[in-house]
Homo-oligomer: A and B are copies of this chain.
Amino acid sequence: MRSITEEKFERLLGLMQKEQVDVLIVSDTEMTRDVNLQYLSGHPMDGNLVITSSGETALFPWDLALAKAESEVDEIIDSANYNHNTSLAFKAYVEEHIKKTNKTVGVFSYFPFSSVVRIEELIPGLKFHREPIKFSRFVEDLRATKSMREIELLRKAAQIGTDTIQDIKKFLLNATDETEKDLDFHVLNKMSKRGAEDLAFPTLVGNGNRAHMLHCHPSASNEKLAAPGLGVIDFGAKYKGYHSDITVPFSFGELSPDQLKMHELTFKAHDAAIEMLEVGVPLWKVHQTAQDILTNGGFPMPHSLGHGLGLTVHDSPFLSRKPTDEFSLKYWKETTLEDGMVFTIEPGVYRLGLGGHRLENDVAVVNGKIEILTKSEFVQV
């Protein structure tokens, strides 16, 4: 079943008509992934979707059985009937459905240049619309607000994560010689058994020696967890294509006054951000409120406060600063909180010698109400 609602699908057709695009291709392959395939067709991966400007949809899947089970399209086309050549199958479809001589095809940003060249050669009179970014941004905006079905799936992904926080807590409280990698495997194992189809992203485990680095490299090492200082574990579950994203801060041993301050500032910034969430609030203001608390406390945050969650782990909207330079402001647009948005709140502070401290929870706006989907906490050992 496709995730996009009828109303949003009509808006996409409206853009096609406005841009005079006759056919839109949505392509997801091993080499170039695009979750818009799942969003617009329900088919989870590996295939091409074609949408005509009058709203007809056809799927050219790699796995026919999967397409029959999961997709919601007018037609499923077996490329075996075209010598297993998707381009030939596409040519036949276009010639049957678009009777004009000059045809325009729209694609999304990451559509491969080699396919553009091949298809333009194959189909005389066909040209590619030269603003793929416009289509990508438009659908990203559509995806920024979720339907009730999508929110259900995001709640489930969040629940798997929240349940796993308790495993992490137990693991940390009993850690002696266990390493970051051991916790990494433990989390993978627990989430998998709870029904996660995959990790949302490689779990990041940084002990007190490593957590001052934003993106610990490697994401989990053979160092012992039980190092003094502030550490973090940042993890999430993928459930039927939808993602959660949680950070649990932890510490081993007594906190120094500076470390205690890092902890208090982070929780204060987190709570202040949650407190001001309501439909209509500009998202940059939520970021700025958290940032001001941390900066005024002497620990400025080196990243944005949060990001959307959905079919990717970095969907729209983004909770980040309002740009100050003229060049960036020209392309910037204020986003306000809307019903159906699902996103992270994740203030964090980092300092070499002290460690890193970040509290991250997932939040949804459902029928105008703020719903905190996850329950992260500070684990002090």
A324-342 vs B, CB cutoff 8 Å, 1 = contact: the mask equals 0001000000000000000
Residues of B contacting A188 with CB < 8 Å? 185, 188
Residues of B within 8 A of A131 (CB): 117
Query: Given the interface contacts A31-B33, A32-B32, A197-B218, does A132 sit within 8 Å of B113 by beta carbon?
Result: yes
A109 contacts the other chain (CB 8 A)? yes
Using CB atoms and an 8 Å cutoff, list the residues of chain A in contact with chain B: 31-33, 83, 107-118, 128, 130-133, 136, 181, 185, 188-189, 192-193, 197, 218, 222, 327
Distance A188 CA – B185 CA, assembled complex (angstroms)? 9
Closest to A120 in B: B130
Known: A113-B116, A117-B131. 5 other contacts (CB 8 A): A32-B32, A109-B113, A111-B114, A113-B132, A118-B133
CA distance A218 to B240 in the complex (A): 13
Contact of A112 among B111, B117, B189, B193 (CB under 8 A): B111
Which chain B residue has the least Cβ–Cβ distance from A188? B185
Tell whether A32 pairs with B130 under 8 Å between CB atoms, given A181-B192, A185-B185, A185-B189: no
Copies in the complex: 2
Residues from chain B with a CB closer than 8 A to the CB of A185 are: 185, 188-189
Q: Within the complex, which residue of B111, B114, B197, B327 is in contact with A83, where a contact is CB–CB below 8 Å? A: B327
Are A110 and B109 also in contact (CB < 8 A) when A185-B188, A192-B181, A218-B197 are?
no
Q: For the complex of A and B, list the 5 residue pairs with the smallest distance between their C-beta atoms, beginning with the closest.
A: A109-B114, A114-B132, A110-B112, A111-B113, A31-B110
Determine how close the nearest CB of chain B comes to the CB of A255; give it in whole angstroms.
30
Q: Which residues of B contact A108 (CB under 8 A)?
A: 114
- Closest chain B residue, CB of each to CB of A128: B113
Point out the residues of chain B lying under 8 angstroms from A32, CB to CB: 31-32, 110, 112
Listed residue (A112, A116, A193) with the most chain B CB atoms within 10 angstroms of its CB: A112
Query: Complex: how many Å from CA A104 to CA B305?
Result: 42
Q: What CA separation (Å) do A61 and B109 show in the bound complex?
A: 21
Cβ contacts under 8 Å, A181 to chain B: 189, 192-193
* Cα-based distance from A261 to B185 in the complex (angstroms): 39
> Residue among A111, A113, A117, A131 with the most chain B CB within 10 A?
A113
Q: Nearest chain-B residue to A85 (Cβ)?
A: B327
Question: Which residue of the partner chain, among B130, B193, B218, contacts A117 with CB atoms under 8 Å?
Answer: B130
B117:A132 contact, CB within 8 angstroms: yes
* A323 CB to nearest B CB, Å: 11
Nearest chain-B residue to A195 (Cβ)? Answer: B222
C-alpha gap A108/B117 in the complex (Å): 12
Sampled A-B contacts (7; CB under 8 Å): A31-B32, A109-B114, A113-B115, A114-B133, A117-B131, A185-B189, A188-B188
Nearest chain B residue, comparing its CB with the CB of A186 = B185
Contacting pair A112 B113 (CB below 8 A) = yes
A117 cross-chain contacts in B, Cβ below 8 A? 130-133
Q: Which residues from B are CB-within-8-Å of A114?
A: 108-111, 132-133, 136
Give A101 to B111 CA distance when docked, in angstroms: 29
Chain B residue with Cβ nearest A328: B83
Contacts of A197 in B (CB 8 A): 218
The interface residues of chain B lying within 8 Å CB-to-CB of A130 are 117
Closest to A31 in B: B110
